[in-house]
């Protein structure tokens, strides 16, 4: 394919879910192609980028892997408010972690009012003998919230590639159909200039923080 | 008056002599001295007192971070874009010169945390199952462990408990299994407080020393069989307190307990246990915590200049307060915002954060951190990344702007690119490989090891630990000697300037002046005069090497 016909797309993906479900492992498997049993709990949030080519698009995913620990919970809005897609990860051997997803979805519904691609991931599918969440229940729930659904294993590397690929497809669809999706096109982006002040450097966000604040206070009235 | 139960000190075998100052200084230039402040250097070990506990930490609206954020808000007012102005500050406030912003980042963050905490505590009181969420696996072996002789034999125990006696942290063993013992400790503290209107500081029982510190509804207890003095244990407990603040902020901590006296603090602290563990481990191997000073990575001063200048040039962004590079617990460079300084105690919390989290090695990270000496009321946001493949050289960019990640990420990329281009990263790696320096290099016979702190810069230097101090036991014993010497010099009532101590296996010389603190360890047969002669030679050697061993210039953005 001719390079000139390629379009570029930059999108933010946030990964949410309880501590220990395998968020970091899934992201590292996808971005870095590895799995480590001794992965260390995320502090704050980690930032990964991944580039792929899909349907005439060069897609750059900016993936925010958030920490599941209680003390970082209050930081989550900072990441999901600007996200174009959210990966909701639970552990198929933990019912609790599946219920937590419902809380996340409630929270997203309340705080996000622009289109966002949702994808439910039931991770640790290699641990089928300890399964507590049935595939059917999860799939049913996923369709009820209009989310994609995959069972994945970061250990066995199953489902992860597919999930990110489908999410990327939906992101492209979103980009083409919703004019103000907030996703950046790499081509139109200004070359960053260190001394032009911080405004010029900001990558396109789905919402400006200021607008967020006002829309919130409007709701409260 | 404080309750202090003490056994008689047994010092029969000790022969000490102390002398007045300066008769012995042969050099009039203090090694590692600099008037360019980089780190806060004005408070010393002696200042650390129980009186300090009653001084409440400055309330949040006056905090440093808040004032920086206000400045930021003012700046945004002067931006041409009207819309932005209206978004950040409500119109009625625009006229005021001292703009009160309600949507500034740290406040809104604190509010979010507060809302969250309130929510949680409600959950806790309404739902019985809440406790099950705390990820602590309780097994029989846990119970067995805290009753085992092994648990009792641990050299040092550190406990944190709430005012109501709820266990929060224990260095050894699951704190859940220590409800009874923590209850007893809290009862002791409360009894002394209630009945005598007094503060329980320490109890000495046999070869165990119990040290207590109550602060912001928390009780910190240290129990040791080691060489640490009460004051030194108190310092360690202060570091633990600072670590709690670093995770929660002082504002959140006090707010939590104001609302719910019975709150289980393990919930917001869950996942942070490793920071407490690691900090306590650091205290056993890193003299910088005792000396409230930091060690710099030995580096040619022109290389260090390149590093600092590169950072200053490529991280020139608004709201960035500190930028620093650290490698293996040593400071490589610090660049700071004008008027703001980093406190060594805060720096140790940063070192501990990096030291204890493998997660930063996987990707660029963005995490809140409160530096209690800088501002206990709010969080700074830290951009954390490693600059080299081996993940040894770590760059930290600390900002008050919660939205600054992408900007700082670009700064990081530029800094990294330049440092590679100028071979500075390679120089740092080489220095790390070379292992600091050997005592041999000072070529002073019979001098085995030393700690030298330059007081004006809050930095210290010391050689590698070599034979005979290369086994775990001997290292520990050497540390014990330093604790002993440090304590004798600082807390013996009269402040000693020079202390000469002949021990069974080595002779110690401690020397404190307004400019430096020196703790030197000699072979057992050295005489007082030759030891003094030797340390003068050592001072001259350090002076000669000072550009490499210390950061003597202070770079600002
Ligand atoms: N068996 C299995 N273990 C996994 C899988 N993914 C993650 N883990 C393990 O689950 C634990 C938590 O993983 P981590 O990625 O840190 O979870 P996070 O807290 O959600 O980021 C680690 O011990 C991982 O090795 C998986 O697909 N299968
Ligand atoms: Mg993680």
> For the residues B420-428, what does the mean pLDDT come to?
95
pLDDT band at A15 (very low <50, low <70, confident <90, very high): very high
Least confident piece of the model among A24-33, B51-60, B103-112, B427-436: B103-112
* Total-model pTM: 0.83
Q: Is A24 in the pocket of ligand 1 (CB under 6 A)?
A: yes
DSSP state of B132: G
Please state the rounded mean pLDDT for residues B40-49.
63
Q: Are B479 and B451 in contact (CB under 8 A)?
A: no
Cα three-residue angle B342-B346-B347, rounded to 5 degrees: 75
Confidence at B63, pLDDT banded by 50, 70, 90? confident
Instruction: Say if residue B20's pLDDT is above 80.
Output: no
The residue whose CA is least distant from atom 19 of ligand 1 is A20
Q: How confident is the model at residue B356 (pLDDT cuts 50, 70, 90)?
A: very high
The least confident of A23-37, A72-86, B29-43 is B29-43
How close does chain B come to A116, measured CA to CA in Å? 21
C-beta A37 within 6 A of ligand 1: yes
Give the residue, B94 or B300, on which the prediction is more confident: B300
Cβ A119 vs Cβ A211: under 8 Å? no
Strand partners, A11: A61
Cβ of A82 closer than 6 Å to ligand 1, yes or no, is no
Mutate to test the pocket of ligand 1, among A35, A39, A69 (most ligand atoms within 8 A of CB): A39
Predicted pLDDT at B191: 73
Does position A66 have pLDDT exceeding 80, yes or no? yes
Average of per-residue pLDDT values in chain A: 83
Q: How confident is the model at residue B190 (pLDDT cuts 50, 70, 90)?
A: confident
- Between the alpha carbon of residue B471 and those of residues B184, B445, B465, B466, B467, the distances in Å are 37, 22, 9, 9, 8
Mutate to test the interface with B, among A23, A33, A41, A43 (most CBs of B within 10 A): A43
Instruction: Classify residue B294 as exposed, middle or buried by CB count within 10 Å of its CB (0-12, 13-18, 19+).
Output: buried
Joined tokens for residue B449: 């090891």
Question: Quick one: pLDDT band at residue B235, thresholds 50, 70, 90?
Answer: very high
Count Cβ atoms within 10 A of the Cβ of residue B515 and give its class: 0-12 exposed, 13-18 middle, 19 or more buried: middle
* Residue A79 with chain B: CB contacts under 8 Å: none
Pick the more confident residue, B83 or B269: B269
Mean pLDDT of B104-112: 44
Q: For residues B19-34, give the mean pLDDT.
A: 65
Q: Contact B112/A96, CB-based, under 8 Å?
A: no
Partner-chain contact A194 B358, CB within 8 Å: no
Contact A45 B382 (CB under 8 A): no
pLDDT at position B115 over 50: no
Give the distance (Å) from ligand 2 centre to CA of residue B416.
Answer: 25
The answer, yes or no, to whether residue A29 has pLDDT greater than 90, is yes
Mean pLDDT lowest among A149-153, B204-208, B245-249, B318-322? B204-208
Residue B410 buriedness (CB in 10 A; 0-12 / 13-18 / 19+): middle
- Report CB contact under 8 Å: B133, A43: no
% of chain A residues with pLDDT over 70: 79
Give the pLDDT mean for B10-18: 40
Q: Please state the rounded mean pLDDT for residues A145-169.
A: 96
Q: At what angle do helices B273-285 and B344-356 cross, to 10 degrees?
A: 110
Residues of A in contact with B87 (CB under 8 A): 208-211, 213-214
Cα–ligand 2 centroid distance for B253 (angstroms) = 25
- Number of residues written out for chain B: 557
- pLDDT tens profile A182-201: 676 544 333 333 333 222 22
Residues in chain A: 221
* pLDDT at site B225: 87
User: In Å, how far are A147, B138, B289, B401 from B143, measured between CA atoms?
Assistant: 45, 8, 33, 46
From residue B204, alpha-carbon distances to A63, B156, B190 in Å are 55, 14, 18
Which residue is associated with the tokens 């005792």? B290
pLDDT at B30: 84
User: Per-residue pLDDT tens for B296-307?
Assistant: 999 999 999 999
Q: Is the pLDDT of residue B83 over 60?
A: no
Ligand 1 centroid, distance to A16 Cα (angstroms): 14
Q: How buried is B114 (Cβ within 10 angstroms: 0-12 exposed, 13-18 middle, 19+ buried)? A: middle
pLDDT greater at residue B416 or residue B198: B416
A43/B367 touch (CB, cutoff 8 Å), yes or no: yes
Residue scoring higher pLDDT (B328 or B187) = B328
* pLDDT attached to residue A215: 34
Residue B21's pLDDT is 44
Residue B66 has pLDDT above 80, yes or no: no
Mean per-residue pLDDT for B44-61? 52
Quick one: pLDDT band at residue B189, thresholds 50, 70, 90? Answer: confident
Of A169-178, B196-205, B518-527, the one with minimum mean pLDDT is B196-205
Minimal-distance CA residue to ligand 1 atom 9 = A22
What 8-state DSSP symbol labels residue A88? Answer: E
Percent of chain B residues past pLDDT 70, beyond the cut:
77
Confidence of residue B351 (pLDDT cuts 50, 70, 90): very high
Minimum distance, in Å, between the CA of residue A42 and any CA atom of chain B: 6
Beta-strand relationship, B330-336 and B320-327: antiparallel
Q: B376 in helix, strand or coil?
A: coil
Average the pLDDT over each of B8-17, B230-239, B451-460 and give the range with the smallest value. Answer: B8-17
Task: Identify the pLDDT of residue B141.
Answer: 58
Of residues B16 and A175, more confidently modeled: A175
B355 token code pair: 């030291």
Are the Cβ atoms of A201 and B269 closer than 8 angstroms? no
Q: Going edge to edge, which strands form the sheet with A45-54?
A: A148-151, A117-123, A85-91, A7-16, A57-66, A45-54, B364-369, B380-386, B393-399, B320-327, B330-336, B555-556
Ligand that comes closest to the CA of residue A123: 1
pLDDT at B65: 78
Which range of A50-64, B69-83, B148-162, B179-193 scores highest in mean pLDDT? It is A50-64
pLDDT confidence of residue B142 = 57
Distance B486 CA to ligand 2 centre (A): 42
Task: For B271, name the nearest residue in chain A, comparing CA atoms only.
Answer: A69
Query: What's the mean pLDDT in B475-483?
Result: 93
CA distances (Å), B327 to each of B33, B246, B308, B338, in order? 23, 21, 14, 24
A6 touches chain B (CB under 8 A): no
Bridge partners of residue A123, in order along the sequence: A91
User: What Å distances lie between residue A129 and A22, A101, A126, A138, CA to CA?
Assistant: 18, 22, 8, 17
Q: By mean pLDDT, which of A40-49, B145-154, B355-364, B478-487 is the weakest? A: B145-154
The per-residue pLDDT for A2 is 55
What's the mean pLDDT in A153-160? 96
pLDDT for the residue numbered A203: 29
- Can you give the pLDDT at residue B152? 74
What pLDDT is stored for residue B108 in this prediction?
A: 46
| pLDDT for position B554 | 87
For the segment B378-388, what is each residue's pLDDT rounded down to a tens digit? 999 999 999 99
CA distance A186 to A57: 11
Residue B494 has pLDDT above 50, yes or no: yes
Mean pLDDT calculated for residue range B48-66: 55
User: Is A119:A149 a contact under the CB 8 Å cutoff?
Assistant: yes
Q: At what angle do helices B472-490 and B230-248 cross, to 10 degrees?
A: 100
Tell me the two tokens of residue B56.
């409440």
- Tokens (6 digits) for A218: 């409007």
pLDDT of B175 above 80: no
pLDDT of B128 higher than 60: no
- Taking the C-alpha atoms of residue B555 and residue B557, their distance in angstroms, rounded to an integer, is 7
Q: Nearest Cα to A20, choosing from B177, B172, B386, B133? A: B133
Q: Please answer yes or no on whether A201 and B410 come within 8 Å at the CB atom.
A: yes
Neighbours of B161 (CB within 10 A): 26
Higher-pLDDT residue of B18, A196: B18
Q: How far, in Å, CA of B443 to CA of B545, rounded? A: 13
Average the pLDDT over B308-315 and give the result. 95
Q: In terms of CA atoms, which chain A residue is nearest residue B82?
A: A210
Could you count the other beta carbons within 10 Å of the beta carbon of residue B373? 18
| Chain mean pLDDT for chain B | 80
Question: Could you tell me which of B518, B494, B483 has the C-alpha nearest to residue B24?
Answer: B518
Residues 70-109 on B with a CB inside 8 Å of A are 79, 81, 83-84, 86-88, 103, 109
pLDDT at position B146 is 66
Q: Is A71's CB within 8 Å of B248's CB?
A: yes
Residue with the two structure tokens 């004005």: B42
Ligand 1 contact, A123 CB (< 6 A): yes
Residue owning the nearest CA to atom 10 of ligand 1: A22
């Amino acid at each position: 394919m001719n390079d000139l016909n390629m379009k570029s797309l930059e999108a933010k993906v946030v990964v949410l879910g309880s501590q220990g479900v395998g968020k970091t492992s899934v992201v590292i498997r996808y971005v870095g192609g590895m799995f480590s049993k001794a992965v260390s709990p995320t502090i704050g949030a980690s930032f990964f980028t991944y580039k792929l080519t899909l349907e005439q698009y060069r897609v750059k995913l900016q993936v925010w892997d958030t920490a599941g620990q209680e003390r970082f919970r209050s930081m989550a809005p900072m990441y999901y408010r600007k996200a174009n897609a959210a990966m909701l990860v639970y552990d198929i051997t933990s019912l609790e972690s599946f219920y937590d997803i419902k809380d996340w979805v409630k929270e997203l519904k309340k705080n996000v009012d622009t289109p966002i691609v949702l994808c439910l991931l039931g991770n640790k599918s290699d641990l089928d003998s300890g399964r507590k969440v049935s595939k059917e229940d999860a799939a049913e729930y996923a369709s009820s919230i209009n989310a994609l659904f995959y069972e994945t294993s970061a250990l066995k590397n199953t489902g992860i590639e597919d999930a990110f690929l489908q999410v990327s497809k939906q992101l492209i669809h979103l980009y083409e159909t919703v004019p103000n999706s907030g996703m950046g096109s790499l081509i139109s982006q200004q070359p960053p200039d260190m001394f032009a002040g911080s405004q010029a450097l900001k990558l396109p966000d789905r919402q400006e923080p200021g607008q967020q604040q006002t829309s919130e206070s409007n709701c409260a009235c | 008056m404080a309750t202090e139960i003490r056994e008689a000190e047994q010092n029969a075998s000790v022969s000490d002599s102390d002398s007045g100052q300066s008769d012995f200084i042969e050099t009039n230039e203090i090694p590692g001295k600099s008037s360019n402040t980089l780190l806060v250097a004005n408070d010393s070990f002696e200042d650390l007192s129980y009186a300090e506990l009653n001084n409440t930490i400055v309330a949040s609206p006056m905090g440093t971070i808040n004032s920086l954020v206000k400045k930021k808000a003012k700046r945004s007012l002067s931006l041409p874009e009207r819309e932005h102005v209206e978004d950040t500050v409500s119109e009625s406030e625009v006229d005021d010169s001292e703009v009160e912003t309600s949507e500034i980042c740290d406040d809104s963050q604190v509010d979010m945390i507060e809302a969250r905490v309130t929510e949680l505590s409600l959950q806790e009181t309404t739902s019985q199952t809440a406790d099950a969420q705390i990820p602590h696996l309780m097994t029989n072996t846990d119970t067995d462990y805290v009753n085992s002789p092994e648990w009792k034999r641990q050299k040092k125990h550190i406990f944190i408990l709430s005012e109501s006696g709820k266990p929060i942290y224990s260095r050894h063993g699951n704190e859940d299994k220590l409800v009874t013992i923590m209850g007893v400790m809290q009862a002791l503290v409360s009894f002394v407080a209630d009945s005598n209107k007094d503060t329980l500081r320490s109890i000495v029982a046999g070869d165990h020393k119990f040290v207590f510190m109550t602060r912001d509804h928390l009780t910190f207890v240290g129990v040791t069989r080691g060489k640490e003095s009460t004051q030194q244990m108190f310092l360690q407990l202060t570091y633990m307190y600072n670590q709690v603040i670093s995770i929660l902020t002082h504002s959140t901590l006090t707010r939590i307990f104001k609302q719910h006296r019975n709150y289980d603090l393990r919930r917001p602290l869950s996942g942070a246990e490793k920071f407490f563990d690691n900090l306590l481990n650091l205290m056993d191997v890193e003299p910088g915590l005792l000396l409230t000073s930091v060690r710099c990575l030995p580096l040619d001063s022109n290389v260090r200049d390149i590093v600092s200048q590169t950072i200053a040039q490529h991280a020139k962004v608004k709201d960035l307060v500190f930028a620093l590079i650290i490698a293996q617990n040593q400071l490589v460079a610090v660049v700071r915002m004008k008027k703001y300084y980093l406190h060594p105690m805060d720096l140790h919390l940063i070192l501990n954060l990096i030291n204890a989290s493998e997660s930063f090695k996987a990707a660029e990270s963005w995490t809140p951190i409160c530096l209690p000496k800088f501002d206990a009321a709010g969080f700074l946001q830290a951009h954390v990344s490693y600059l080299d493949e081996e993940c040894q050289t770590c760059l930290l960019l600390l900002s008050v702007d919660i939205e600054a990640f992408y900007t700082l990420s670009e700064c990081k990329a530029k800094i990294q690119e330049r440092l590679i281009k100028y071979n500075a990263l390679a120089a740092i790696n080489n220095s790390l490989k070379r292992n600091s320096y050997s005592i041999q290099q000072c070529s002073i016979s019979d001098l085995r090891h030393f700690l030298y702190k330059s007081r004006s810069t809050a930095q210290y230097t010391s050689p590698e630990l070599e034979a005979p101090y290369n086994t775990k036991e001997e290292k520990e014993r050497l540390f014990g000697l330093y604790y002993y010497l440090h304590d004798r010099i600082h807390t013996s009532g009269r402040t000693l300037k020079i202390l000469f101590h002949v021990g069974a296996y080595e002779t110690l010389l401690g020397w404190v002046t307004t400019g430096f603190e020196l703790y030197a360890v000699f072979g057992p047969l050295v005489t007082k005069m030759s030891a003094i002669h030797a340390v003068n030679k050592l001072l001259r050697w350090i002076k000669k090497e000072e550009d490499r061993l210390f950061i003597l210039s202070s770079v600002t953005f």
